[in-house]
Amino acid sequence: MPASENLIAAFAASHAATASDKTLNNWLAGLHFWHTVNGATWQGADMLRAVRCGFAKMVPSSSRRTKRPPITIEALCILHDNLNPQSPYDVAVGAVVLTAFWSCCRLGELTVRDRNFFDALKHVSRSTTKELGADILVTARPHRTDPLKALSLHATVNSGIPAYAPLFSYKTSLGWEPLTKTSFMLRCNDVWVQNGFPSMPGHAFCIGGTTELLLQGINPDIIAVQGRRTSRAFLDYWRRVESVLPLFISSSVNINRLQQVDATMSAFVRRHNIPQT
């Protein structure tokens, strides 16, 4: 080290048409980080940028994922209305659904990877922990998908579970189970597919919640706090998901809502002096 720009560019070019540009970016980020921690200069410059542009144009079809729609308020209501309020499992799922959507959460903040992988230092439990973590803001909504009501129902239906258990655990005939991300998504997609919606990825909750809140006129600074993002990170995130906006508009009459969001985000950029790219 340091690896020369010719070597880095040759490495990238040698994998063209075999992987996605996202995969290449992950590889290069790892190499860049390894140089940084070892005090070596990163040589990626003009030649590497040219290779990366060509790489993106040669991504094979097998490495491209079909774009899936985000979770709209309609999809959220369909899911909410089809969960059984008498089922401890469905009640836990519903509490996560509405918290993730309206609080713009990542599912990894609310669910666990598997039933044997719970870390009290990383995951929220039914009691408080001694470790500092992020604050998830949950506010009431004047709608049947109110997350506070869902959390209250979960606390009632799934009471009596040990305090050390993950927060979104549910009662079973044998005791209790933690709600895993896999189990959660299977239940959600089972409802959606049965009602004519495509299956959705987990990050669709955060995308959907962010977009719906902006369309409702909520200040972007508030939404950035909800999603625990800095102003710069929130703008970068928004630029990646703004293409889904038309999916949230049910009528051409509502085109004004799109224009209002565009004006709001422009004002957000000016207010925080974020350079345009």
43-60 per-residue burial string, b: 16 or more CB within 10 A, e: under 16: bbeebbeebbeebeeebe
Q: Indicate whether 275 pLDDT > 80.
A: no
Task: Give residue 108's pLDDT band: very low, low, confident or very high (50, 70, 90).
Answer: confident
Peptide bond into 88 cis (omega under 30): no
Q: What pLDDT does 134 receive?
A: 66
At 61 the pLDDT is 65
* Domain residue spans of the chain: 5-63, 70-276
The single-letter code of the amino acid at 27 is W
Lowest mean pLDDT among 71-75, 203-207, 256-260: 256-260
Higher-pLDDT residue of 136, 84 = 84
On average, the pLDDT of the chain sits at 83
Which is more confident, 79 or 107?
Answer: 79
Please give the radius of gyration of the chain, using alpha carbons only, rounded to the nearest integer.
22
CATH architecture for segment(s) 70-276: Orthogonal Bundle (1.10)
